[in-house]
Homo-oligomer: A and B are copies of this chain.
Amino acid sequence: MNNDLKVFDELESEVRSYCRSFPTIFTKAKGYKMWDVDNKEYLDFFSGAGALNYGHNDPNMKEKLIEYITHDGITHSLDMASTAKADFLNKLNDVILKPRDLEYKVMFPGPTGTNTVESALKLARKVTKRTEVVSFTNGFHGMTIGALSVTGNSFKRKGAGIPLHNAITMPYDNYIDENLDTLDYFERYLEDGGSGVEIPAAVILETVQGEGGLNTARFEWLKKLESICNRFDIFLIIDDVQAGVGRTGTFFSFEPAGIKPDVVCLSKSIGGYGLPFAITLIKPEHDIWAPGEHNGTFRGNNMAFVTATEALRYWEDPSFEEGIKKRADKITTFLDGLIEKYPEMNGYRKGRGIMQGISSDIEGFSEKVAELAFEQGLIMETAGADDEVFKLFPPINIEMEALEQGFKKIEAAVEAVAKEKELVTS
């Protein structure tokens, strides 16, 4: 095969998207590197939109996976009991939940982010016997109708082809300006019997909005939100599909806020190796599901159990978390420097942990940066309703040197766009 995208043009649906931004055919990957059919090497600062926090094809997980396959371990077993599943449950409990003083039952809702979100919404409605769910501006929770109803993006919403119901959008932290605490506004709606907004079954949110433009909720805002939820008996659902599993520096993104959500949605990197996998964590007192009330053929992806279990071993060593934070600081410093050096960009830094980027007010700036970076062999995504943010998403354990290598490519791209834009605007 040569590097010809014709087969995709002819046979794959028009809905394909990333292959348009990164127009080459990939064959191989390792850690933070990818190679295409022409053997060109790329630095991956995208990480499968958060599905590859440990990098590509981690050697430890790979070894376990091959061993498992070789010995004819169970591949598919619906939701029957398997040793691979038992191992995962124990490891998750021992390494992650117990040390964080979190008690959760684990649900396997089907192997994607939208599945875990749909399961969370169902459960919240079942427990509270209410119907409405509050989500926040620029939240993204998935593409099936239930999850799409609580997603902000109008382009995605229109794709539904039907009006989306049972959802109310409230302003995320800092949505308006500093004068308005958006939670005061939300609380006002809940208190006021004439507000037109009834007490919802649940509130669902990301602590850092991955697709919505790296908007970040302050810890005190999250804490206050939890107390409002407690006051009105509302389910607090944290969608940690993208921000979880170390992306922001801690295993769960909400740890520094000191909150304990009723439900946590995890997918993407929980599988470790990039295999389809998702779990829904449920406070034991809410686990009132009837058997099979939510199900799905691929709830039990045993290969993902194997790699997920291995992946969790990284968290046994406290230095792993520290390493993430070091990298995060490095990224912060780099981005702040960039903003200062290129005022033409009119940029400001957004996000936290290894989930940061720069939002540029110049139309098309960030998209152009990502495009030029790709030409130089770096894969990076944009985010936000107008793709106004370019987003650094390398593996959370990327070598420091590789990080710097990436920074150079990004700066080169920024410089080139800044110059060009200058010419245009002046």
Partner-B contacts on A (CB < 8 A): 1, 5, 7-8, 11-20, 22-30, 34, 37, 48-52, 56-57, 62, 65-66, 69-83, 85-86, 89-90, 92-93, 105-108, 110-115, 118-119, 121-122, 124-126, 131-132, 135-139, 142-147, 149-163, 165-167, 169, 171, 175-176, 179-180, 184-185, 188-189, 192-198, 201, 212-213, 241, 267-268, 273-276, 280, 282, 287-298, 301, 303, 384-386
Contacts and interface: CB of A to CB of B under 8 A. Distances in A.
Determine the main DSSP class of A at the interface with B. Answer: loop
B14 A288 contact: yes
A224 B23 CA distance: 44
A401 to B, nearest CB: 21
Nearest to A302: B274
A275 B301 contact: yes
Most buried by B among A23, A71, A119, A292: A292
B25 A86 contact: yes
Contact of A276 (B74, B153, B158, B298): B298
A43 to B, nearest CB: 15
Contact of A78 (B30, B49, B201): B49
B30 A126 contact: no
Given A14-B289, A29-B74, A125-B162, A1 B83 contact: yes
A316 to B, nearest CB: 18
Given A145-B118, A297-B268, A153 B193 contact: yes
Given A76-B275, A165-B162, A297 B51 contact: yes
Contacts of A139: 196
A163 B165 contact: yes
A167 B149 contact: no
A193 B29 contact: no
B192 A11 contact: no
A137 B13 contact: no
A374 to B, nearest CB: 11
Contact of A25 (B83, B124, B157): B83
